[in-house]
Amino acid sequence: MFDIVVSSAPATPFAHRVAAALREARMRVVTCEIAPNRPPPDALRVDAAVACAQSPAALLDIARSLRAVLDGPPPVIGVSSSRAIFAMAELSGALADDVPSSVIAAQVQRLAAQAERQRSRVILRGELDDVGLDGLLASLASRSRTCFIRVRAGALRAEVTVDAGRPIHARADGVRPSEHWTDALASLGAWQGASFEVIASEAGGAQRGERESQRPPAFPVDDAADVALAAAVVNACAAYARAWLGPPMTSRLLASSWITAREHHSALDAFAISGDALVSVAQIDRARSAIPQAVAAWIVAFFDAAGEKVPSRFQRRRIREVLGGLTRLVEQVGWASVLFEGVER
């Protein structure tokens, strides 16, 4: 099912027919009127948008507003009684207002499907109750995924934007756009029977190269797999914290908890913390002696410090949930008895 925004200038007589045609073709449609100098409302990232207006000037204003406010932006199809719209660069397609409804629906479906294939691919589907939002975010953080998470629960829709493993934006039905995006993220915890899709999104070459230069150095699996896993565990916890506290606060709490844990575990000197709260390993051999006791002490101290800021989200018993898919690896290498000791009581 495609999500479509249909926007029209006031008093456009055929806008209702266009929206009805798309709904009949089983598309989810959000409609809104756009008056002069008033942009469309903040909306979820959609698969396509349809601009309806009688005059070319009004249609051009709508198309530009849609492209400015919607994520992507999605392809914009214009519907008008004027044939001048066929020359507009802002439009991915154009139709006359008197074409059959089936033609309108087919054109919108074709462009929406084409845009989705070019833009992204679904890499994971599941039930949110089974994995938990926190566990899903932690798993994506451990892999530094850049993606969108689409969540659906009945008629409710939401989307979370994840960049290099870090949530940077969220939108959800029922949460006003004027609220902070973390409120939309938090609201998903109350959705019952929600399903999700993780849709991979390739960033531009310059952005991807910039992120790669900021990441901790990778180590060969056959040389320091245990050290790499330890860093991934701490970074998963940090990624979870960034979603609720932001990078600056997360970085400060990582540093303060590192100091606390280091008083009893000097081997933590082997780890370094960047300004955007990414943990890297500076000394592989020394880091090995910090595993798992010192790393476990650091994580517990970090959660205790974060719990003073947001108590409901940073209880020790949440550590297992936050690690998500990393939990199985932790159990396989025998760290679970140390890492989770006492935190779930």
State the residue range of the domain holding 270.
Answer: 216-339
pLDDT at 288 (0 to 100): 82
Residue 305 pLDDT class (50, 70, 90 cuts): very high
Q: What is the per-residue pLDDT across 99-139, written as a single tens digit (0 to 9) for each?
A: 888 888 888 888 888 776 655 577 778 888 877 787 788 77
Q: Is residue 46 part of a domain?
A: yes
Q: What is the per-residue pLDDT across 271-295, written as a single tens digit (0 to 9) for each?
A: 888 766 778 777 777 888 888 888 9
For the chain, what percentages of helix, strand and coil (3-state, to nearest 5) are there? Answer: 50, 20, 30
Q: 335, 340, 337, 135: which is closest to 225 by C-alpha?
A: 335
Residues 329 and 221 placed together within one structural domain of the fold: yes
335 burial class (0-12, 13-18, 19+ CB within 10 angstroms)? buried
Residues 167 and 253 placed together within one structural domain of the fold: no
Q: Is residue 127 part of a domain?
A: no
Q: Fill in the amino acid letter for 129.
A: D
Q: Is residue 194 part of a domain?
A: yes
- Cα separation, 92 vs 119, in Å, equals 15
Q: How many domains does the chain have?
A: 3
Residues 265 and 156 placed together within one structural domain of the fold: no
Contacts 24+ apart (CB under 8 A), 179-182: 182/243, 182/244
- Cα separation, 19 vs 4, in Å, equals 9
Length of the chain (residues) = 345
pLDDT at 48 (0 to 100): 86
End residue of a domain, out of 86, 119, 152: 119
Structural tokens at position 96: 């006359």
The half-sphere exposure of 220 on its side-chain side, counting CA atoms within 13 A, is 2
Q: In what order do the strands lie in the sheet with 3-8?
A: 28-33, 3-8, 48-52, 76-80, 93-96
Residues 226 and 182 placed together within one structural domain of the fold: no
Q: What is the per-residue pLDDT across 229-265, written as a single tens digit (0 to 9) for each?
A: 788 888 888 888 888 888 888 888 988 999 889 888 8
Q: Is residue 125 part of a domain?
A: no
Q: What is the per-residue pLDDT across 316-342, written as a single tens digit (0 to 9) for each?
A: 888 887 877 677 777 777 787 777 764
Structural tokens at position 133: 């939002």
Q: Looking at residues 46-53, what average pLDDT do you find?
A: 86
Residue 201 CB contacts under 8 Å (≥ 6 apart), including other chains: 119, 120, 146, 147, 148
Residues 262 and 234 placed together within one structural domain of the fold: yes
Q: Looking at residues 19-31, what average pLDDT do you find?
A: 87
Look up residue 35 and give its DSSP letter.
Answer: -
Q: Is residue 70 part of a domain?
A: yes
Residues 180 and 270 placed together within one structural domain of the fold: no
Residues 233 and 287 placed together within one structural domain of the fold: yes
pLDDT at 150 over 80: yes
Structural tokens at position 120: 């992204």
- Cα separation, 208 vs 201, in Å, equals 11
Residue 110 CB contacts under 8 Å (≥ 6 apart), including other chains: none
Q: What is the pTM of this model?
A: 0.39
